[in-house]
Every structure is written in structure tokens, then in C-alpha cells.
């Protein structure tokens, strides 16, 4: 008899090596990444404006300038513009490229613009503020996702950000859930007084689904010949087989002997736990 932790350690020694498959990005959530992902360019790829407002040359502010004539407007998605006069400013929108000649952004809330003159309303500003600088998050060819990462919302965002329309992931293992026992009927059926419904199989299936997996349900009656025939077929078709029932000490607990008969090697049988042991 082994402890629960010993049983888990023994199970951990027998890991499945799933195949790698390619799936569209919209089918990738919940899957496990099978390759490392690198950036195809700096992230962000340019000095990006982080607030709507005006962009200035900070040296002019240090020289005492507080009124800046608006030269132009820099929109997001527009090629980079250039500040012609360092004592002027350019209106900038969030997500836009920082204009050439500018190194500081002051949000609209902190200036007043009248007749194309932007007047400072505050004194407490710092060089480089409100700018998401180029390569701040990652440089080109940096690894941003490692193989083995489970793909959730943040990971899907990163894949899309580097231009991946699909993802190489590990294929989900085919899992069979096998219940045994003449006392069990399927959940749509009406059980007789001596029968109960097969709830355990659906419990295990739901637990697997929560982990992102899929599984198939099977039921085999308490018959040695049927068990050996059906188990041999299921084990041949499914890399993972989970059995529920039929493994204790009763006269009709035929699963251990049937597994041995079809060539399954026993690593452990009884587990020291409550409730139950086998």
C-alpha cells in the first residue's frame, strides 16, 4: 500500500508525449504551447504616445517656455511627423508615434489650447513622461512565451501581437473513462430498486473538461470475458484509460485480474487514503 503522495509520484513517472499540431489562433485558448515564441520586432515598435495631449521638447520647458504654438496633429496610425520649432508643440493622440524633436507628452487636462496656443496649467512635469518607449516591453527576437505555456487571454494577445495567425500546440490526449458494475445504469435511464445511475463517469469527464481535455465514456458489465475483450480494445485505442469501480476485494471486482490478463503492468494498487483504500 502506498501513500497518496507516493501514488502521485509514481503516476508522474509515466508521462504521455503528445504530438504537436497547428491550430488557428481562435481555437488555441486552453491549449498548451509546443514551441517558444519570439518577437518579430521591438515591442512597442516605436516611441508611442501614452496620453492624448501635446508633445514638446523638454529643453524648452526648462528654458522657461510655458506657451507653445501648435504646429500639427499626430494621429495614431499616421507616419511620424517632425517638430519644426523646438519652442512649439504638436498635438498627439494616444497610440501615435512620438514626433521627431519631441521627448515629453503633456496631457490635455494639464494645458489649455486657445487660438492654437497651448498654455501650461501645471509646473510638475518630467522629461519623457507619458511615453511608452520603443522596446520597453521586449526587443526584437526576445522570447516572450516558452513551450509548455498554457494559452489564456494574455498569451493569445501576445501571439496576435507578433503576427501569429495560428499556434503550434500539443495535441490533446485521447482519454477513455471506463465504468464497471451491473448495478449501474446511464443517467437517462430509470434505475430499478437495485440499481443506481453512473454519476462517477460524468464527474471525471467534467473534471477533464475543466482542464481543457476531452474524453469518451464506456461501461462494461461485471463479466470477466467482456472486461478482457473490451479493455483490450480500449487500451489499444486510447493512450489514457481511467477506470472507476471494480478494483476492490469483492468477488465481482474483476478489473485488476482483467488488466493483468490483457498485459497491463501493475505499478501500485492500494492507496492509503480516506475514504476508501483500493
Judge if 111 and 148 occupy the same domain: no
277 assigned to some structural domain: no
pTM of structure = 0.73
Q: What are the C-alpha distances in Å from 248 to residues 14, 228, 234? A: 23, 17, 21
Choice among 19-23, 32-36, 208-212 with the minimum mean pLDDT:
208-212
| Beta strand 53-56 pairing with 104-107 | antiparallel
Q: H or E stretch including 156?
A: helix 153-161
Judge if 165 and 183 occupy the same domain: no
The secondary structure of the chain in percent helix, strand, coil, rounded to multiples of 5, reads 20, 30, 50
Q: What percent of the chain has pLDDT over 90?
A: 75
Judge if 32 and 147 occupy the same domain: yes
**Cα distance between residue 278 and residue 47, in whole Å:** 63
**Cα distance between residue 217 and residue 205, in whole Å:** 8
Q: How confident is the model at residue 246 (pLDDT cuts 50, 70, 90)?
A: confident
Q: How confident is the model at residue 109 (pLDDT cuts 50, 70, 90)?
A: very high
- Model pLDDT for residues 118-177, shown as the tens digit of each residue: 999 999 999 999 999 999 999 999 999 999 999 999 999 999 999 999 999 999 989 999
Q: Which domain holds residue 24?
A: 20-43+140-170
**What is residue 276's predicted lDDT score, i.e. its pLDDT?**
66
Judge if 166 and 227 occupy the same domain: no
**What is residue 39's predicted lDDT score, i.e. its pLDDT?**
97
CATH of the domain at 193: 3.40.980.10
Q: What are the C-alpha distances in Å from 252 to residues 3, 21, 50, 246? A: 26, 42, 70, 7
Q: How confident is the model at residue 252 (pLDDT cuts 50, 70, 90)?
A: low
Q: How confident is the model at residue 277 (pLDDT cuts 50, 70, 90)?
A: low
Judge if 91 and 38 occupy the same domain: no
Q: How confident is the model at residue 15 (pLDDT cuts 50, 70, 90)?
A: confident
275 preceded by a cis bond (ω within 30 of 0) = yes
205 assigned to some structural domain: yes
DSSP 46: S
Cα radius of gyration rounded to whole Å, the chain: 32
**Cα distance between residue 247 and residue 11, in whole Å:** 17
**250 pLDDT exceeds 60?**
yes
Domain count for the chain, please give it.
3
Judge if 69 and 115 occupy the same domain: yes
**What is residue 14's predicted lDDT score, i.e. its pLDDT?**
86
**What is residue 181's predicted lDDT score, i.e. its pLDDT?**
86
Beta bridge partners of 106: 54
Q: What percent of the chain has pLDDT over 70?
A: 99
**Cα distance between residue 218 and residue 238, in whole Å:** 12
**249 pLDDT exceeds 90?**
no
**213 pLDDT exceeds 90?**
no
**What is residue 99's predicted lDDT score, i.e. its pLDDT?**
98
DSSP 3-state assignment of 7? helix
Judge if 260 and 177 occupy the same domain: yes
**Cα distance between residue 23 and residue 167, in whole Å:** 6
Judge if 30 and 162 occupy the same domain: yes
**248 pLDDT exceeds 90?**
no
**Cα distance between residue 67 and residue 64, in whole Å:** 9
Q: How confident is the model at residue 58 (pLDDT cuts 50, 70, 90)?
A: very high
**What is residue 211's predicted lDDT score, i.e. its pLDDT?**
85
Judge if 155 and 199 occupy the same domain: no
- Model pLDDT for residues 174-207, shown as the tens digit of each residue: 999 999 988 888 888 888 899 889 899 999 999 9
**What is residue 112's predicted lDDT score, i.e. its pLDDT?**
97
Amino acid at each position: 500500500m502506498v501513500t497518496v503522495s507516493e501514488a502521485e509520484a509514481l503516476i508522474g513517472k509515466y508521462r504521455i508525449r503528445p504530438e504537436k499540431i497547428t491550430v488557428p489562433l481562435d481555437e488555441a485558448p486552453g491549449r498548451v504551447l509546443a514551441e517558444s515564441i519570439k518577437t518579430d520586432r521591438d515591442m512597442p515598435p516605436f516611441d508611442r504616445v501614452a496620453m492624448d495631449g501635446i508633445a514638446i521638447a523638454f529643453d524648452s520647458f526648462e528654458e522657461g517656455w510655458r506657451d507653445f504654438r501648435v504646429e500639427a496633429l499626430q494621429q495614431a496610425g499616421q507616419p511620424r511627423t517632425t517638430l519644426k520649432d523646438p519652442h512649439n508643440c504638436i498635438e498627439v493622440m494616444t497610440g501615435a508615434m512620438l514626433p521627431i524633436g519631441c521627448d515629453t507628452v503633456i496631457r490635455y487636462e494639464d494645458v489649455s489650447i486657445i487660438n492654437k496656443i497651448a498654455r501650461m496649467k501645471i509646473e510638475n512635469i518630467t522629461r519623457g513622461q507619458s511615453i511608452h518607449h520603443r522596446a520597453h516591453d521586449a526587443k526584437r527576437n526576445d522570447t516572450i512565451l516558452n513551450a509548455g505555456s498554457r494559452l489564456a487571454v494574455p498569451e493569445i494577445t501576445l501571439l496576435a501581437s507578433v503576427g501569429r495567425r495560428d499556434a503550434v500546440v500539443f495535441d490533446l490526449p485521447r482519454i477513455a473513462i471506463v465504468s464497471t458494475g451491473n448495478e449501474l445504469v446511464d443517467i437517462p435511464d430509470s434505475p430499478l430498486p437495485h440499481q443506481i445511475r453512473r454519476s462517477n463517469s460524468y464527474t471525471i469527464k467534467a473534471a477533464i473538461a475543466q482542464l481543457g481535455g476531452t474524453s469518451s465514456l464506456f461501461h462494461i458489465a461485471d463479466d470477466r470475458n467482456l472486461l478482457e475483450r473490451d479493455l483490450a480494445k480500449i487500451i489499444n485505442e486510447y493512450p489514457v484509460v481511467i477506470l472507476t469501480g471494480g478494483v476492490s476485494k469483492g468477488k465481482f471486482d474483476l478489473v485488476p485480474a482483467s488488466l493483468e490478463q490483457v498485459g497491463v503492468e501493475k505499478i501500485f494498487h492500494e492507496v492509503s487514503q480516506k475514504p476508501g483504500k483500493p
